[in-house]
Amino acid sequence: MSFVILVSGPPRRIFVLILVSGFVILVSAQASLRYPARQVLLTIDNLHVAYGAIKALHGVSLQIDRGEIVTLIGSNGAGKTTLLRTISGLLHPTAGKMRWNDTDSPGDVRPASTPADLQYASSAPGTGVDLVSLPPHKIVSLGISHVPEGRQIFPDMSVRENLLLGAYQQQSKTQIDADLDRCYSLFPVLAERKNQRGGTLSGGEQQMLAIARALMARPKLLLLDEPSLGLAPLVVRKIFEIIKEINAAGTTIFLVEQNAHLALAIAHRGYVLQTGEVLLTDTARNLLHHPDVKKAYLGG
197-239 confidence digits (pLDDT tens): 999 999 999 999 999 999 999 999 999 999 998 899 999 999 9
Helices 233-248 and 173-186, interaxial angle, to 10°? 140
The confidence score (pLDDT) of residue 234 equals 92
User: b vs e for 252-284, b when ≥16 Cβ sit within 10 Å of the residue's Cβ?
Assistant: bbbbbbbbbebbbebbbbbbbbbebebeebbbb
Give the model confidence (pLDDT) of 232-269 as tens digits. Answer: 999 999 999 999 999 999 999 999 998 999 999 999 99
CA distance 115 to 266: 8
Residue 82 and residue 65 in contact, taking contact as beta carbons nearer than 8 Å: no
Residue 143: how many other CB atoms lie within 10 Å: 18
Dump strand ranges (E) for 186-295.
221-225, 252-256, 269-274, 277-283
CA distance 36 to 123: 9
- Residue 151's nearest CA partner among 75, 200, 204 is 204
CA distance 158 to 186: 18
In this structure, are strands 269-274 and 69-73 parallel, antiparallel, or unpaired? parallel
pTM: 0.81
C-alpha dihedral sign at 150, 153, 154, 157: negative
The confidence score (pLDDT) of residue 20 equals 52
Residue numbers of the chain with a pLDDT score lower than 70: 1-37, 103-127, 300
Residue 270 and residue 263 in contact, taking contact as beta carbons nearer than 8 Å: yes
- Residue 187's nearest CA partner among 210, 208, 215 is 208
Q: Residue 213 to residues 3, 155, 198: CA-CA distances in angstroms?
A: 58, 13, 12
CA distance 143 to 214: 10
Residue 243 and residue 255 in contact, taking contact as beta carbons nearer than 8 Å: yes
Phi/psi at 86 (nearest 5 deg)? -75, -40
The confidence score (pLDDT) of residue 22 equals 55
- Residue 87's nearest CA partner among 148, 147, 139, 143 is 139
The confidence score (pLDDT) of residue 276 equals 96
